[in-house]
A and B are shown apart, each in its own frame.
Chain A
Amino acid sequence: MEPFAKETREFIDALSNTLLAEQIFKPHSELTTLGFWLRASNIKRLRQQYFAQDNVSSSLFLKPLGGVLHIAPSNVDTMFVYSWVCSLLVGNNNIVRVPSNITEAVQKLLSLISRLLQQPKFTSIAQRNLIATWTQQSNVSATLSLMVQARMIWGGNETVQNIRKMPTLPNCRDIAFADKFSVSVLKLAGKSQDEIDALAELLWRDISTFQQAACSSPRVLVFSDSPEQQKQHLYSRLMARANSLTNDASTSMNHLVARQLILSQHQDNYLHSDGPLSVVKIHKLHKDYIAWHPAQNFLYEYDVGDLTELFAWLPEQCQTVSHFGFSSDELQRAVAPYLGPSVDRLVPVGQALIFSSHWDGYDVLKQLSRIIELRV
């Protein structure tokens, strides 16, 4: 099928409209976010971006790769749709493995997809796409690996290594997503209480969605030029949101373990709060601290002079930097010369979890296409 074929766009549009319109999807904010991402205007933007040609001396033609195997992660349970839709848009045939322990939201989503695919106008999509689950212990992934032109491998280092061990056709591409973590950079000087209240809401959305287990959920709040009083106000708002939750026994234990691990490492590390939201101030962002982070509403606080100082030491696995309070100029200046092998995207606070077709340093749509050059 051709990239951005009419039938594909119509299917995605139908999916988007139903997700945004029907009441049963309303309780699941991740489905609303998905529906919003799939809406026609966003797909149109992706299409323009995809076909934009900047090389005048040659023509580029974009073609599908063929068959793509998607291994979806289970921590962000709607991720399989983003992965699938990107590949579907550029015209590939797809087999998507979803985790077996699916949530209620995913069940609803799957039944919607299957309902749409039963419509006669989407028959050719139904024939070329399969969403299924199988145990990782079976040889299904291995068998399929020998049949596809690309594998989208989500789920972190261990999954990537395991799937990579399975042989593929010689021309198969692996688009692999390794373990990542994310931070928020905040500059609170001069901000009013109302502005900080609004910030807290956005930040809370990024932290609490997917129990802070997504790679792009912020785990560290990095403060630059932020008076203590304003920080405290921000924390009090975040805690007010967190206090509506009660931790279960094992989450409390995971928090306790992480707090003790961090506090034991340096006398300057100290505890701000240990309720449903744990906040630990750290003197440096050590790799171990990232590894010990237990998710589920646990924050590290770190202070820096300015952004360049932050980017100089950010560990390699940093994916998303969500920002608040910095001018475009400050951001540009910090990114251009100082960014090393870390940081794949910088977005405003509140948008950390919104999927982009530029992810983990890939242009996913292009990665899933064959690019043919014609020079005359």
Chain B
Amino acid sequence: MSELVPEQWFESPPFSMPQAEKEIRLLNTLKELHQYHQAHCVEYNNLFSQTELSDIESLPYLAVRLFKHLSLSSIAEADVFKTLYSSGTTGQMPAKVLLDQETSRRQSKVLVKVLQDFIGKQRMPMLIIDHPGVVKSRNSYSARGAGIQGLSLFGRKPVFALNDDMSLNLEVVQNFNNEHKNTPVLLFGFTFMVWKYFIRALNAQNITLNLSQGTLLHSGGWKKLEAEKVSNSTFKETCKDVLGLSQVHNFYGMAEQVGSIFVECEQGHLHAPVYADVIIRDPVSMAVLPNNVEGVIQVLSIVPSSYPGNSLLTEDLGMILGVDDCSCGRKGKYFLVHGRLPKMEVRGCSDTAK
């Protein structure tokens, strides 16, 4: 297993390798993983029999929605270490992925490497913008729970800002603020919850915090905030006004591809680390699109080996902005996510509900 994804992957810094060199390395490892899944996952093998892979664009991709219908695995049942479920919008089937210890370990490593590049190595006091119940179960995790679990590695003495009913736990929040004001702290939560249950709840009670040395990491998509006409810049400004902090990093990722995490830099661009990549495709022809043209996002990652999740076609739209030349100094591709593919009304026989 260790040859499958060589350890040296985790020795190099996540954002210093130029794209051309990175693609050669990625292709080597992704080819190995492709062959591994062909040999260990029947569904993958039925679907992708090809053996000739000339470049990363020729790697086959699984539609991310498959994980809502199928339980895809490349390991023996006894080796399942964790089962991860995507949160899924209400009423939708959750996606399911199976992790073994190796994949889980790689996921943590990559998370550490990438996030340290943005928030440093020091472990900071941490405020989780969620309620403690979300991480209680041990073997099956919602994506929300898993995200919090993963990010908790970066915090010292993590505390939860919300009560089980999603109301603000004012005592915890105010103690945290008093104890750590003007010292480095880490805040983490899902974008919509941070907005609705934390920032707006504080605002409603006319409370402002003074976490000027704090960093807020948040993820989960903008769909609900767009509906409320809250843009990324409004979000950031409000964070400064209410929380007193100016370091806010959104990141993009999905439960179906553990470990690939794309963090927003100081310029507002999402960056692909050395272990992962993005390709933009035309949503109808599936042809690879040039920079600055919007299409569906394909994500690549060397992290999963317990299930065939190394190359996934998402249902998100975005565009590549450039390669190796972001003014923040990070190498590789940088991009934007514009939201979801417009939902076609699935006009089945069961839709009088409108």
- Chain A residues in the interface with B (C-beta under 8 A): 71-75, 97, 99-101, 136, 154-159, 162, 179-180, 210-211, 213-215, 246-254, 256-257, 260-261, 263-267, 269, 288, 292, 294-295
Contact = CB atoms under 8 A, between A and B. Distances in A.
B66 A252 contact: no
A294 B348 CA distance: 8
Contacts of A213: 347-349
Interface size class of B (residues with CB under 8 A): 20 to 34
25 contacts: A99-B352, A154-B352, A155-B350, A155-B353, A156-B352, A157-B350, A159-B350, A159-B353, A179-B349, A213-B347, A214-B349, A247-B284, A248-B284, A248-B344, A250-B283, A250-B341, A250-B343, A252-B283, A252-B284, A253-B341, A256-B313, A261-B66, A264-B44, A265-B46, A266-B46
B199 interface: no
B171 interface: no
A99 B354 contact: yes
Name the 6 nearest CB pairs between A and B, nearest first: A156-B350, A155-B352, A249-B283, A250-B344, A264-B43, A156-B349
A251 B344 contact: yes
Nearest to A210: B347
Contact of B351 (A156, A252, A254, A294): A156
B27 to A, nearest CB: 22
Given A73-B352, A252-B284, A254-B346, 13 more contacts: A75-B349, A75-B351, A136-B354, A155-B352, A210-B347, A211-B347, A246-B284, A253-B296, A260-B47, A260-B62, A261-B66, A263-B47, A264-B44
Most A-side CB within 10 Å, residue of B69, B286, B315, B347: B347
Contacts of B329: none
Contact of A265 (B43, B286, B313, B342): B43
B350 A158 contact: yes
Nearest to B344: A250
Contacts of A288: 69
Contacts of B230: none
B63 interface: yes
B66 A159 contact: no
Contacts of B349: 73, 75, 155-156, 179-180, 213-215
Contacts of A263: 46-47
B65 interface: yes
Contacts of A295: 346-348
Interface in B65-87: 65-66, 69-70
Most A-side CB within 10 Å, residue of B44, B62, B296, B348: B348
A288 B353 CA distance: 24
A102 B246 CA distance: 48
Contacts of A248: 284, 344
A102 B351 CA distance: 13
Most B-side CB within 10 Å, residue of A73, A180, A260: A260
B348 A156 contact: yes
Given A158-B353, A257-B65, A249 B342 contact: yes
B128 to A, nearest CB: 34
A261 B348 contact: no
A75 B284 contact: no
Nearest to A211: B347
Contact of A253 (B47, B283, B354): B283
Contact of A72 (B286, B344, B350, B352): B352
B354 A71 contact: no
A281 B62 CA distance: 20
Contacts of B65: 253, 257
